[in-house]
Amino acid sequence: MINSFSKMSTLNKVLLISAVGATTAYAISRWMREKNKLNLQDKVVLITGGSRGLGLVLGRMLAEKGARLAICARNAEQLELARLDLVGHGAEVIALPADITDTNQVEALIKDVISHYGQLDVLINNAGIIQVGPHEAMDIEDFEAAMKTNFWAALYTMLKVIPYFKKQGEGRIVNIASIGGKIAVPHLLPYTASKFALVGLSEGLHAELKKHNITVTTVVPGLMQTGSPRNVTVKGNHKAEYAWFKISDSSSILSLKTETAAANIIKALEYGRPEAIFALSAKFASFIQGIAPGWISEIMAAVNNIMPGATPTGEQKGYESESFISKLLGGNSNVAALKNNEG
């Protein structure tokens, strides 16, 4: 074999050595990823906004992996329905009513979880709100409400768990952001602004906490068929605004099934990835934004030209804004709402 190698041309030697080196590097990298993979069996996972939608689906799938769950939400009735659902899926779970925009309630929440289980290993910041409508229909209070839930609440929970994670020598945090935190989406400005803030916070904390063996994963999903449109806040032309949002959310082309999204999120958690962008549409949009941000801005401006006009008529919940067209073309969202406690 040595003689065969010595007879090779210089180019072939270089190619062979490069191939062996690349294969070895890949094998070592894969071994390191598997070595650092988190085994979720008996790990304690706190999911904010865990009573419905993506949070509930994450709970079901984490239970299948043997995780012990704590879920929180503001609505005690929905929370109890979610707890019963998760118990039915074999989960060990506690349900704790809490408003995580209140720092005192966040502190009590974290203490209650640790007191009950004796540990906390993973925090999933999933709670969020969405207001749909043009900027003319939004008040300053809409932006403040979005920031409170989508940004400040996530910061509060992280600030409470980070000292605990440092003390125990490890921990994992997953922040459910949005492609709306990478690309500004018209008629979702309070949501988009708050998710941009969350992406920056999450990425910065990953960089600072890595040395403490604390991994922060920023999840950047596109649309998901969670059934959540029923519970968004709609402003402006209610029926028209709700129709475009719900139909987009229901589209098999534009949106992912929640179970697919949840599986990808859990995989990113297990491997401690710094970022998870898994929908093809979100990956493409993020890529174009990175190489040609001006194109995305022009595309969004063009999209805005065909959006509903401003009609300052107060606000409604999504389910109050249904129309024939949203019912007709929003079938996937309707099915998901029934399945994921969004009704």
Model confidence over 122-174: pLDDT tens digits? 999 999 999 999 999 999 999 999 999 999 999 999 999 999 999 999 999 99
- In terms of DSSP bridges, do strands 233-235 and 315-317 run parallel, antiparallel, or are they unpaired? antiparallel
Q: 93-127 pLDDT, tens per residue?
A: 999 999 999 999 999 999 999 999 999 999 999 99
Confidence of residue 32 (pLDDT cuts 50, 70, 90): low
What predicted TM-score, i.e. pTM, was given to this entire model? 0.90
Instruction: With a cut of 90, say whether residue 284 has pLDDT above it.
Output: no
Q: Evaluate whether 141 touches 247 at the Cβ level (below 8 Å).
A: no
Q: 189-209 and 153-168 are packed helices; what angle lies between their axes, rounded to 10 degrees?
A: 10
- Report the helix count and the strand count for the chain, using DSSP H and E: 14, 12
Return the pLDDT at 280. Answer: 77
Q: What is the pLDDT of residue 170?
A: 97
pLDDT in tens, 243-256: 999 999 999 988 99
Is 120 in contact with 161 (CB distance < 8 Å)? yes
What is the third-level CATH fold of 39-339?
A: Rossmann fold (3.40.50)
> Given this model, what pLDDT does residue 8 score?
65
Partners of 132 in the β-ladder: 234
* Stretch 220-245: mean pLDDT: 95
Alpha carbon 266 to its chain's center:
11
Q: Helices 258-271 and 53-64, interaxial angle, to 10°?
A: 60
Tokens encoding 234: 């709609």
Whole-number mean pLDDT of the chain?
A: 92
pLDDT at 201 over 70: yes
User: Distance between CA 318 and CA 239 in Å, rounded?
Assistant: 9
In the annotation, is 164 catalytic? no
Q: Quote the CA–CA distance of 21 and 14 in Å, as a whole number.
A: 10
> What confidence category does residue 294 fall into, taking pLDDT thresholds of 50, 70 and 90?
confident
Residue 212, both tokens: 């403490």
Q: Which of 191, 242, 271, 319 is catalytic?
A: 191
Pairing of the two strands 315-317 and 214-219 = unpaired
Residue whose C-alpha is closest to residue 165's, from 214, 208, 114: 214
Residue 38 has φ and ψ, to the nearest 5°, of: -80, 125
Please answer whether residues 127 and 153 qualify as being in contact, where contact means their C-beta atoms are separated by less than 8 angstroms.
yes
